[in-house]
Amino acid sequence: MNKIKIGGMITLMAAFTLISCHKMDHGNQTTARAVVEKSFSTPIAIPMVMDAKNASFAAKTNTATIGGQSLKTLSYGNGGILGPTLKINQGDMMNLVFSNQLSEPTNIHWHGLEAPSSQDGYPTDLTQAGNSYTYNFRVTNRPGTYWYHPHPDMATASQAYRGLAGFYIVSSPEEQALKLPAGNFDVPLVIQDKRLTGGLEYNPDAEDQTIGFFGESILVNGTPGAVMDVENVLTDFDY
């Protein structure tokens, strides 16, 4: 059994990206947000898997322990800051009952999926607080890794940042015939930067709105300093 540091190379790449993206022409001043280095000691979290042909979950307020801090989050179901991974075969009908237990309107947009307009989570097609909506359509996309997130006007970034997002994985018999790594050897990785100091709040100032809202902590599946025990076999990491 080998232990890999999931965040090592990711942290280096993120640090370079943050410095490159945040550099501004204010003389020699830079507004780069320094990445906080973490010791690699926390087992990586793997989101639960749901069959998208018959699924249900609610958007709700929650708490998650991240980097030793208890933070208020939004979540799909009982997760931390990631929703369940939805899986389906190409050509199958998705049936997902979605409940909004938040105090604000929300919905779900299936990023990258071909969906009827009534099912696509347009900013104007909202599920009001306390209501439910059933997403039901045939998934025709080719096999691949997609994701889902809310899409209310002027609140998409805030809701997704606080935890409303997840993977959507489409497979097919042809793909399965390739005998690619599966099960525990097919690992989804969601790479995010978050501002954990002061809580998990999305409150961009004018500069953030111009160049992007970057965080000092690099999370993999919501885990800072993530490690994972792996066997000496071919493993597929989806990100």
Rounded CA-CA distance 55/90 in Å is 16
Strand 226-230 and strand 2-5: pairing?
A: antiparallel
pLDDT of residue 47: 93
pTM, entire model: 0.85
Other CB atoms closer than 10 Å to residue 165's CB: what's the count? 21
CA-nearest of 239, 60, 223 to 150 is: 60
Average pLDDT of the segment spanning 165-173: 95
201 and 221 share one domain = yes
Q: Dihedral (C-alpha) 88, 90, 95, 99: value to the nearest 10 degrees?
A: 60
Q: For residue 205, give the 3-state DSSP assignment.
A: coil
In a domain, 236, yes or no: no
Supply the range of the domain harboring residue 142: 47-186
Tell me what the mean pLDDT of segment 211-237 comes to: 91
Helix (H) or strand (E) holding 3: strand 2-5
**Do residues 188 and 167 make contact, with C-beta atoms less than 8 angstroms apart?**
yes
Q: Are residues 200 and 85 in the same domain?
A: no
Residue 237 lies in a domain: no
pLDDT in tens, 189-202: 999 999 987 788 89
**Does residue 53 share a domain with residue 42?**
no
Q: What is the CATH number of the domain that holds 174?
A: 2.60.40.420
Q: What is the pLDDT of residues 16-25, one digit of tens each?
A: 333 333 344 4
| Judgement on whether residues 56 and 173 belong to the same structural domain of the protein | yes
Q: What is the pLDDT, as a whole number, of residue 69?
A: 87
175 pLDDT more than 60: yes
